[in-house]
């Protein structure tokens, strides 16, 4: 996948390393997701009281909301080690067998994007999760032999951005399932103040609110924008992340008032100017903006649809009236004036 831009919730390895320093280490420090946090607290306390590993945990939701952070918190709260891998990295059942047999008693195994795990490995994972044993097949053909290996009791934490792709047998083996929601603006402001303290960045309430409003309800994006605004503040301003500094910095980085970046606006502009609002097919739209179809579909469209700027129809993608308005254009079937209502605040807690 090509780099979708500064505000994408999909993080590169380098970006993940930079984000580790501001991640909360304990459940009490985890901001927002209050219901999930309370449920996890009960699950972990109950397991520790019984002296046994907790049930396997499935975390679902869009990228950047804290699934990896919660997996590390689970291990920290239990006081055990954690082994981290991803679904695409487990191509053969032997790969998974090597991982689970190396776990110590009570350890946490975190599998990111678990819906992408290979079928043979998934079937082996069933017995590891349920019976704490795996059967390793040695040899081929009629002479093949299955060797049963015991696995120390462990807790699997699976994370997925597309829970609908999980098979029924896999989903049924998780004792606790949680869905993470987008953050409110208030929660993002709290998170930004915490991150600023850790990074040693002076930030005003207005500066935090401005960054929060352009962060798409996603903490990963909020922290990334904070680091970019910090750079601007230190190089071109007085080092303080104020309202004026945040606005100027985000303009430099092509992040507009709704949180749209260059690619988002390119998609909307192509729809409006080249195709008069659509409908237009995904592949054609991707060619028009010079990106891969999966980048447009997985990175841009979810937010544009949620923002009410783009609609998916059986005939193709269509720009809504709000998209025309956001670009300062007049829709072909209507008009709007200076008094027209702006696009809604997606993450406001107010009705």
pLDDT at 195: 93
pLDDT at 38: 94
Fold of domain 185-252: Helicase, Ruva Protein; domain 3 (1.10.8)
pTM of the model: 0.82
Q: What is the CATH architecture assignment of 262-326?
A: Orthogonal Bundle (1.10)
For the chain, which ranges sit under pLDDT 50? 1-3, 335-351
pLDDT at 333: 66
pLDDT at 47: 94
Active site residue 67: yes
pLDDT at 213: 92
* Annotated active-site residue in 155, 160, 161, 218: 161
Binding-site residues for DNA: 312, 317
pLDDT at 191: 94
* Annotated active-site residue in 112, 187, 261, 264: 112
Active site residue 161: yes
Here the contacts of 88-94 (C-beta below 8 Å, separation 24 or greater) are 88/113, 88/116, 88/117, 90/117, 90/118, 90/121, 91/118, 91/121, 92/118, 92/120, 92/121, 93/118, 93/120, 93/121, 93/123, 93/124, 93/136, 93/137, 94/136
Give the mean pLDDT of the chain: 85
pLDDT at 2: 43
* Annotated active-site residue in 189, 214, 216, 220: 220
Binding-site residues for Mg(2+): 68
Binding-site residues: 23, 64, 67-69, 130-132, 173, 183, 220, 312, 317
Domain ranges of the chain: 33-179, 185-252, 262-326
Superfamily of domain 33-179: P-loop containing nucleotide triphosphate hydrolases (3.40.50.300)
pLDDT at 345: 43
* Annotated active-site residue in 67, 224, 228, 230: 67
């Amino acid at each position: 996948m090509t780099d979708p831009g500064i505000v994408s919730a999909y993080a590169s390895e380098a970006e993940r390393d930079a984000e580790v320093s501001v991640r909360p280490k304990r459940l009490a420090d985890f901001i927002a997701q209050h219901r999930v946090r309370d449920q996890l607290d009960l699950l972990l306390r109950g397991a520790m009281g019984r002296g046994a590993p907790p049930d396997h945990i499935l975390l679902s939701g869009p990228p950047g909301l804290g699934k990896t952070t919660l997996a590390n918190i689970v291990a920290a709260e239990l006081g055990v080690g954690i082994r981290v891998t991803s679904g695409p990295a487990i191509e053969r059942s032997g790969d998974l067998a090597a991982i689970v047999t190396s776990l110590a008693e009570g350890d946490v195994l975190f599998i990111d994007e678990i819906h992408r795990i290979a079928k043979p490995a998934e079937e082996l994972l069933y017995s590891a999760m349920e019976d704490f044993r795996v059967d390793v097949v040695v040899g081929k053909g009629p002479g093949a032999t299955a060797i049963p290996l015991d696995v120390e009791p462990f807790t699997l934490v699976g994370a997925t951005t597309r829970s609908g792709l999980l098979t029924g047998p896999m989903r049924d083996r998780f004792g606790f399932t949680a869905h993470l929601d987008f953050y409110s603006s208030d929660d993002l402001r709290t998170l930004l103040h915490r991150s600023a303290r850790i990074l040693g960045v002076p930030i005003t309430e207005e500066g935090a609110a401005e960054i929060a409003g352009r962060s798409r309800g996603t903490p990963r994006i909020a922290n990334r924008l904070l680091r970019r605004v910090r750079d601007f503040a230190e190089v071109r301003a007085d080092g303080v992340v104020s309202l004026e500094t945040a606005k100027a910095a985000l303009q430099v980085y092509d992040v507009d008032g709704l949180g749209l970046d260059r690619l988002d606006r390119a998609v909307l502009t192509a729809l409006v100017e080249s195709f008069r609002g659509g409908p237009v097919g995904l592949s054609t739209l991707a060619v028009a903006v010079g990106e891969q179809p999966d980048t447009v579909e997985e990175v841009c469209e979810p937010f544009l649809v949620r923002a009410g700027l783009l609609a998916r129809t059986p005939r193709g993608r269509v720009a809504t009236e709000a998209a025309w308005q956001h670009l300062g254009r007049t829709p072909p079937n209507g008009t709007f004036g200076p008094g027209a209502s702006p696009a809604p605040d997606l993450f406001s807690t107010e009705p």
